[in-house]
Amino acid sequence: MSAFVTGYQNDIFVCYAWVDNATIPGIDIGWVSHLVVTLENILAQMLGRADLFELWIDKKRDSNPVHLTPEIFERVERSATLLTVLSPGYLHSPWCMKELECFIAKMNSSSKVNPRRILVIEKTVYGVERPKALQDYIAYPFWYRDRESGNIRTFGVPRYRPDETQYYDKIQDIVYDMIPVFEQLREDATHA
């Protein structure tokens, strides 16, 4: 499989905290994994084929998560877009912050600076402030405030339900916003 966007190894690099993908007893897939699989399926349907794009997500849990491996640095730098899953875990992860810094530095050093290249999935807002580095980027809230309790709830927790249409609508919104970015970057690469 090769990237849809010419000149990149990956079209999408998923940046997330391991804690946000922990499975809940009785459910065999983590929140981030479910989001990614659903995103891949909808993106494949919109593009017409699953082999037209490349999404990369680190599935190997490193025992020393403070240091990025050379492979991960290369993957970040050679990705057209960065999909961040913002949460308290993300903000407390030095690894996630380094991936974000690496992507922004690479993006700012190229002629393809496009604020739509970073997409922010707001898994929750409970105690979460967006890092300054993410203030100007598109955000997709995957949370709502419960009318009765006033508490923040995350779509898709604890189980993904077909009737929870807001969850799937948000993923479609991401895809609709992502495809024009891919196409613009692809066109820029052919004229470079």
CATH number at residue 65: 3.40.50.360
**Residue 120 falls within a domain, yes or no?**
yes
* The pLDDT of residue 106: 92
What pLDDT, on a 0 to 100 scale, did the predictor assign at position 65?
52
List the one residue out of 71, 46, 24, 10 whose CA is nearest residue 180: 46
CB 125 within 8 A of CB 153: no
How many domains are contained in the chain? 1
Any domain includes 135: yes
Q: What is the pLDDT of residue 109?
A: 87
Average pLDDT over residues 91-119: 88
Confidence bin at 67 (pLDDT 50/70/90): low
Greater confidence (111 vs 57) lies with 57
| pLDDT tens digits for range 121-160 | 999 987 777 888 898 898 999 999 999 999 999 999 877 7
4 within some domain: no
In sequence order, what E strands does the chain have?
10-15, 55-57, 79-86, 118-122, 138-141, 143-145, 152-154
On whether residue 5 sits in a domain, the answer given is no
**For position 138, what pLDDT does the model report?**
87
The three-state secondary structure class of 173 is helix
| Residue 163 domain boundaries | 10-190
Q: Is residue 1 part of a domain?
A: no
Question: 4-18, 31-45, 119-133, 165-179: which has the minimum mean pLDDT?
Answer: 119-133
Residue 82 lies in a domain: yes
**Residue 63 token pair:** 């025992």
Tokens at 58, concatenated:
């680190």
Q: Is 105 within a domain?
A: yes
Residue 153 lies in a domain: yes
Q: Is the pLDDT of residue 2 over 60?
A: yes
Residue 92, classed as helix, strand or coil, is coil
